[in-house]
Chain A
Amino acid sequence: GQQLNQSPQSMFIQEGEDVSMNCTSSSIFNTWLWYKQDPGEGPVLLIALYKAGELTSNGRLTAQFGITRKDSFLNISASIPSDVGIYFCAGLSYGQNFVFGPGTRLSVLP
């Protein structure tokens, strides 16, 4: 089945640094969603994007719906220890089910 590509797979950053990650697909999507998953928990929705070029923020998080509709980006500014976790994207095309990326594992070093 169709899956999304996410990069990087994992990253180690210092507290206070900014983080960028992206999600790409060979297909066009009408919706992009970004989630964070903590160990032993379910994914929690961070940001939803519904329009090509859309830029949406949620606190220190900012996500963008790529112009080509085949990619999306998530940025975290001034990282803190509680940002640790797995971030993954989901894409949706009309008439289809959601597809998910494998995730980016973020570690924040104090």
Chain B
Amino acid sequence: NAGVTQTPKFQVLKTGQSMTLQCAQDMNHEYMSWYRQDPGMGLRLIHYSVGAGITDQGEVPNGYNVSRSTTEDFPLRLLSAAPSQTSVYFCASSRRTAVGNTIYFGEGSWLTVV
């Protein structure tokens, strides 16, 4: 995928544990975002950032925290994992072309909370 790197690929957590999903992009994109993907649903926005030092909530932000200290990195933190957070998580970054936006995704992080 176009320069968006996510780690880890797979993770199993116990309820109540915390963890951080890492995301980095090397395309100098200003806009970065985190989505979760659940069966039968479209990607849902968790948090996003329009630049270093700026973050905002998306559609489903509860239970997650983000920070954007650099243009390249946008980690997602699960504060106290719950089974409802079992999902596939995608980090994405976006550029603005001359005519519009195009968004690129990482390869995903499969998270299971037991």
Determine whether B40 belongs to the interface, using a CB cutoff of 8 Å to chain A.
yes
Residue of B nearest to A35 (CB): B105
**Contact of A99 with B42 in the complex, beta carbons under 8 Å:** yes
**Contact of A97 with B42 in the complex, beta carbons under 8 Å:** no
**In terms of DSSP, what is the predominant structure of the interface of chain A?**
loop
Residues of B within 8 A of A106 (CB): none
Known: A31-B101, A42-B106, A48-B100. A97 touches B1 (CB 8 A): no
**Contact of A102 with B40 in the complex, beta carbons under 8 Å:** yes
Q: Chain A, 73-110, contact with B by CB distance < 8 Å: what is the 0/1 string?
A: 00000000000000010101000011111110000000
Known: A88-B42, A100-B43. A45 touches B104 (CB 8 A): yes
Chain B residues touching A, range: 20 to 34
Chain A residues touching B, range: 20 to 34
Minimum CB–CB distance from B27 to chain A (whole Å) comes to: 13
Determine whether A59 belongs to the interface, using a CB cutoff of 8 Å to chain B.
no
Determine whether B90 belongs to the interface, using a CB cutoff of 8 Å to chain A.
yes
Residues of B within 8 A of A33 (CB): 102-103
Determine whether A8 belongs to the interface, using a CB cutoff of 8 Å to chain B.
no
Determine whether B48 belongs to the interface, using a CB cutoff of 8 Å to chain A.
yes
Residues of A within 8 A of B99 (CB): 50-51
**Contact of A42 with B105 in the complex, beta carbons under 8 Å:** yes
**Contact of A98 with B103 in the complex, beta carbons under 8 Å:** yes
* Assembly CA distance A3 to B35 (angstroms): 13
**Contact of A92 with B101 in the complex, beta carbons under 8 Å:** yes
> Which of A33-53 touch B at CB < 8 Å?
33, 35, 40-45, 48, 50-51
* Assembly CA distance A35 to B42 (angstroms): 12
Q: Which one of A42, A44, A50, A101 has the greatest number of beta carbons of chain B within 10 Å?
A: A42
Q: Chain A, 14-41, contact with B by CB distance < 8 Å: what is the 0/1 string?
A: 0000000000000000110101000011
**Contact of A90 with B103 in the complex, beta carbons under 8 Å:** yes
The residues of A with any CB-CB pair to B shorter than 8 Å are 1, 3-4, 30-31, 33, 35, 40-45, 48, 50-51, 88, 90, 92, 97-103
> What are 26 sample pairs from A and B whose C-beta atoms fall under 8 A apart?
A1-B44, A1-B59, A4-B42, A30-B100, A31-B100, A33-B103, A35-B105, A40-B108, A42-B4, A42-B6, A42-B90, A42-B106, A42-B107, A43-B105, A44-B1, A45-B103, A48-B100, A88-B42, A92-B100, A98-B45, A98-B94, A98-B103, A99-B42, A100-B35, A102-B41, A103-B42
